[in-house]
Amino acid sequence: MEILGIDIGGTGMKGALVDSETGELTSERFRIPTPKSRKPDDMARVFKDIIDHFNYDGPVGCGFPTITKHGICKSTSNLNKGWLNVNIKTLFSEVSGLPVTVVNDADAAGYAVMNYGIGKGEGGLVIMITIGTGLGSGAFYNGKLIPNFELGQIPYKKHRKIEKWAAASVKKRKNLSYKKWGKRFNTFLELVEVIVCPDLIILGGGTSKHFDKFEKWITVETPVKASHLGNHAGIIGAAVAVLHDT
């Protein structure tokens, strides 16, 4: 089955058609920058533009960069505060006229790696970490998603959330070397390890492609692997989420 997956981020909104059996993209990826306002109506318009671009008429899966509880936005994170308590599923279904499934973006990326990537067949507790504007996390126990793990929200020193100190956006903004940033990221993984004691940590998001550049600063005991699906994981997982919608 071919499903349109849309991965919404703080800087870009990206979509592609995905073969839900193989997890492969069957179209080019199409990206529109996230509107500067990051407000619901503006972003809903872009959501529709992406669907129109593909001339698509079927169920749409969407990865969204906040806590999404039963389709409702329960944190605003890097988006406009106006998103709080918005029913994203209803808003996007109305604007597109299509059935829409909404999940947290890191949960979506996790679906992709657990179904088609290096997480396939992994038992125990697997934590997917997406490194981007924020630090997203998806938790899978024996392959089943435990939704909305928000490990990037752990407070650290003077920071209300550790993602404000250790995400890829901080590396970029402060022009940190891989060594400096890698040590910060390792501090984050140390906290993850002590709090949830995972069996495996899988890294996703653009920065995970450069794992070889910061791997030597990662000293946690838990095995850590890069996902290899890179930026496509969010789109693939968003599409797959449609199949898990109940």
Residues contributing to the site for ligand BGC (CB under 6 A): 65-67, 75, 77-78, 104-106, 130, 132, 134, 136, 150, 152, 163
**In the complex, least distance from residue 21 CB atom to ligand BGC, rounded to whole angstroms:** 26
2: Cβ contacts below 8 Å, ≥ 6 apart: 17, 18, 19, 20, 26, 58
| Beta strands 135-141; 125-131: pairing state | antiparallel
> In terms of CB distance, is 91 or 168 closer to ligand BGC?
168
> In terms of CB distance, is 61 or 134 closer to ligand BGC?
134
3-state percent helix, strand, coil for the chain, nearest multiple of 5: 40, 25, 35
> In terms of CB distance, is 50 or 56 closer to ligand BGC?
50
> In terms of CB distance, is 56 or 150 closer to ligand BGC?
150
In angstroms, the CA 79 to CA 102 distance is: 16
**In the complex, least distance from residue 22 CB atom to ligand BGC, rounded to whole angstroms:** 25
In angstroms, the CA 246 to CA 242 distance is: 9
Closest residue to ligand BGC, judged by C-beta, is: 134
H-helix segments, the chain: 40-54, 88-96, 105-116, 163-166, 168-173, 178-196, 211-214, 232-244
> In terms of CB distance, is 78 or 93 closer to ligand BGC?
78
**In the complex, least distance from residue 76 CB atom to ligand BGC, rounded to whole angstroms:** 9
Two structure tokens written together for 33 = 């920058």
In angstroms, the CA 85 to CA 126 distance is: 29
**In the complex, least distance from residue 154 CB atom to ligand BGC, rounded to whole angstroms:** 11
**In the complex, least distance from residue 119 CB atom to ligand BGC, rounded to whole angstroms:** 17
In angstroms, the CA 109 to CA 204 distance is: 7
Two structure tokens written together for 12 = 């870009």
Do the beta carbons of residue 10 and residue 134 sit within 8 Å?
A: yes
**In the complex, least distance from residue 106 CB atom to ligand BGC, rounded to whole angstroms:** 4
> In terms of CB distance, is 122 or 150 closer to ligand BGC?
150
